[in-house]
Amino acid sequence: MASFARPWLVITVLSSSVMGCATMGGLLSRDLVSLRYGWPEQSIMRVVHTVDVRTDWSDRRTAQRRFTLTLGPADAQGARRLGIHDVEVTEAPFPAFVEPLATSIIDAQGDFQGIDSLEDGPGLELLDALPLSPRKKAQMTKALTNGLERDARDRWNQWVGSWHDGRFKPGKLEVIESTIAVGTGRKSSEEVPAEDRQQLDVGVPCSDSVPEPKCARLHVVREPVGQKDDTQGRYARLELELVTDPSTLLPYSSRLIRMDRVNWAAEGESPDYHEAVHVEQYTFLHGVEAVPGQVAAADFGQLLPTVK
C-alpha cells in the first residue's frame, strides 16, 4: 500500500492537497517498483526554473531563473540542508521571482522539516529600508518566512517528498480519491471531489544529456470527478510529470500544469467563462558539470494545454 498524504505542489492561488491510499491489489513485490529516497552526500545540481502563464484576458508572461542546488552532509539528528546558490534571473515578470530562496531542512527519510531562519537577503533588506514600526516589521518578516517555507515545501514535495516509499506496478493506471479547488469567481473557489490518475513508466531516458533508460516517468492527472478536458462550464485540471531515478529519487525534470476555467459573471448574469494555464518546469543537470550557464532553457513550445 502506498500512502500519498504529503501534498504535491500546487502553483496557483487555487491550491489543493491530496490525501489518499492506493491499493496495489496484493501484487507481489517482484511486480512493483518502489521509489526510494537516497540522494548521495554532497549532491549538486544546476537547475533551470521556468514559468509560463497564459490567459484569455491578458498577454502571455514567461519567467526564467537558474540556480545551483546542493544537499549538504547530515547533522547529528540526520537532517541535511538543501541550499540554493548562484541564482541568475533572466526574466522576472512575477514579483516572486526576485524573492529570496530559503535553505530547506530534509530529514533522513526524505521528508521536509522546515527552513533555516532568514539572514540578510533581498527580502529582509527591503523590509529594513521601509519606515515600519517594530511590530509591523515583525509581522511582515513572519509572513515572508511563512511564504518561503510554503514554497520550499511545495518544491520538495513535487520532486521527492510526495513520492518516496511509493510502490507502483509499471504501466498500470491507478486511480486515487482526492480533492481539487475549482474557481467560483475571480477571487473565490471551493474544494470539490476529484480523482488522481497516476501511472509510472520505467526504463525511460533521464534527459537529452543522460539518454540511458534508467529513469522512471511518473504522470499524474487530477480532475474533478466526472469531468474531462472537454467539460463545459467551470473546471480545473492539474497535471504533473516527473522524470526521476527510482532508486534515489534524484530528479531530472519536473513539469506541473494547472488549468482553470472560471465564470466571472455575477449571480443571475449570463455566464462569462475565462481560462488560464500556468506551467512550471524544473530541469536538472547533475554532478561536477552542474555549473552556471550549462543548462538549456525549457522548450515552451511543448507546454500543453493551450488557452485559445
Would you list the domain boundaries of the chain? 2-298
Span 110-120, mean pLDDT? 84
Q: What is the pLDDT of residue 258?
A: 96
Q: How far apart are CA 244 and CA 248, in angstroms?
A: 8
pLDDT tier at 183 (50, 70, 90 boundaries)?
very high
The answer to whether 48 and 283 are in contact (CB under 8 A) is yes
Q: What is the pLDDT of residue 59?
A: 87
Q: How far apart are CA 214 and CA 200, in angstroms?
A: 13
pTM: 0.81
Q: What is the pLDDT of residue 121?
A: 52
Q: What is the pLDDT of residue 139?
A: 83
Span 223-249, mean pLDDT? 92
- For the cut 80, the answer to whether the pLDDT of residue 125 exceeds it is no
Q: How far apart are CA 167 and CA 147, in angstroms?
A: 32
The answer to which of 21-25, 39-43, 111-115, 286-290 has the lowest mean pLDDT is 21-25
pLDDT tier at 298 (50, 70, 90 boundaries)?
very low
The answer to which of 3-17, 44-58, 133-147, 152-166 has the lowest mean pLDDT is 3-17
pLDDT tier at 126 (50, 70, 90 boundaries)?
low
- For the cut 90, the answer to whether the pLDDT of residue 304 exceeds it is no
Instruction: Report how far apart, in Å, the C-alpha atoms of 96 and of each of 51, 90, 277, 298 are.
Output: 11, 14, 18, 19
